[in-house]
Each structure stands twice: as C-alpha cells, then as structure tokens.
Structure 1
C-alpha cells in the first residue's frame, strides 16, 4: 500500500471548506475524473468516474469526526482506496486542508491505465491530487466572496 499526503491553504474559514467537502454533488467540480457524484444517505456516495476511455461507478463510505474536522472515506469495491481530509483553522479567514490517500499502485494502474509502475505512477497521482486541492481551494474561496 502506498501513501500520498498533500496540503493546501485556503483563504476561507474552516466551516466553508468543511461544508464544501460535504457537497458530494460538487465533486466533479474539483476531483479530476469524477463525472457525476451523488449522496446515498448520510455516509455513502456513488461516484461515476472516467476510467481509461470509459467510466465506472464506485461506492464510497464517509465517516466524519466533525469536532476535529476530519473526514475519512473508503471505496467499497476494487480498487481499495482510502483517504482522509483534515482541516485546521489557521485563523478566522484561512484554513489548511490536508489530504492523505492510501492506494495499491498496481490496482490503480490496472484500472486507470497511464504511467508505468513506480515513480512515474506516484508522480502522476501526486500531480492529480495537487490539482484537485487547488480546484477545491478555488471553489471554496469563490463561494465565500
């Protein structure tokens, strides 16, 4: 299992970022490859994801630890992916968002195609996550203006 951690500062209160992470239907606006997303109750979501020229649906479970502003998620089926969003208020107008993703490189490469094993795959995933965080930042900051 490989782990990736990234973080970004958002120019908005932690509550605004926390609310955005819970707007499942907005995931296509900031998560690369997500074509459609919908909540299935309070702790489950269905994501329609672009996969190597086609698409595939994934179910994911979400768990909140609201007072700590930590959201964890995990896919139900293959490939097994797990992640955590942790929000840390820096002041009343700035928030640090940290994401941690755990994945099996071979399963991700098999499903999504793309770069070969090793460093190239890890680098591609890192760029994708960085871009997703930047898009999340832009969306949250735009909504709070």
Structure 2
C-alpha cells in the first residue's frame, strides 16, 4: 500500500470547511473526474467518476470523528482505496485541510490506467494537490 499526504490552508473558519466537506453533492465542483456524487443511507456515498477515459462508479463508507474534525472513507468493492480529511484550525479564520490517500499502485493502474511506478505516484500527487486547491477556491468563494 502506498500513502500520500497533502495539505492546503483555506481562508475560512474550521466550521465552514467542515460543513462544506460534507456536501457530497458538491464533490464534482472540486474533485477531478467526479461527474456525480450523492449521499446514501448507512453512511455511504456514491460517486460516478471518469478518469483516463474510463467511467466507473464507486461506493464508499464514510465515517466522521466530528470531535476531532476527521472524515474517513473507504471504497467498498473495487478498487481498494481509503483516505481521510483532517481539519486543523490555524486561527479563527483559517483552517488546514490535510488529505491522506492510501492505495495500491497496481489496483489504481488497473482501475484507471495511466503511467506506472514513479510517474504514477507523481500523477496521483498532482491530482490530489489540484483537488485541494479546487476545494480551497470552493470554500473561499462560498463566504
């Protein structure tokens, strides 16, 4: 399993960032390749994703540790992906959003195509960084 961690500082209070992170239906606004997303019963989310010319649907179990401001998720079925978003207050009006992604490189290549090895890790890192920057824009524009 490979692990990637990235963060971005956003210019909104932690409560605002936390509330916006839970708007699953808005995920297409800031997650690359997500065409549609919705919350389902039982702490699940459904995502319709297109990447590398391939369309896939994913179900994920989502759990909150609200007191710690951590949202964790794990796909059910294939591909096996897991991650979390942790929010940390910087001050009253700024929040650090830490993303963590756990994945098997071979599984990601099978599911989405793309490069192998170091090039794959770089591509995933670029996507996660871009998604975080898009989240920053999304929450800051919503003020």
Bin the TM-score by the shorter chain: over 0.9
Aligned mates of 2:100, 2:45 — CA distance in 1: 19
Aligned mates of 1:2, 1:105 — CA distance in 2: 7
Q: How does 1:44-83 map to 2 (within 5 A)?
A: 44-83=44-83
Give the corresponding residue for 1:134. Answer: 133
Structure 1 unaligned runs (5+)?
none
Aligned mates of 2:44, 2:109 — CA distance in 1: 25
Aligned mates of 1:125, 1:53 — CA distance in 2: 16
SS at the partner of 2:29?
Answer: helix
Contact 1:52 1:111 in 2 (8 A): no
Give the corresponding residue for 2:35. Answer: 35
Contact 2:3 2:103 in 1 (8 A): yes
Cα RMSD for the two superposed structures: 0.9
TM-score (ref. length: structure 2): 0.97
Contact 1:51 1:111 in 2 (8 A): no
Aligned mates of 1:49, 1:128 — CA distance in 2: 14
Give the corresponding residue for 1:118. Answer: 117
Contact 2:6 2:99 in 1 (8 A): yes
SS at the partner of 1:95?
Answer: strand
Give the corresponding residue for 1:12. Answer: 12
Identify the range of structure 1 (53-62 vs 31-40) with the bigger mean alpha-carbon deviation: 53-62
Post-superposition CA distance 1:101-129 (Å, at most 9, x none) = 000000101111111x2110000000000
1:142/1:42 Cα in 2 relative to 1: closer, same or farther (>3 Å)? farther
Q: How far has the Cα of 1:42 moved from its partner? A: 5.6
Q: How far has the Cα of 1:51 moved from its partner? A: 3.9
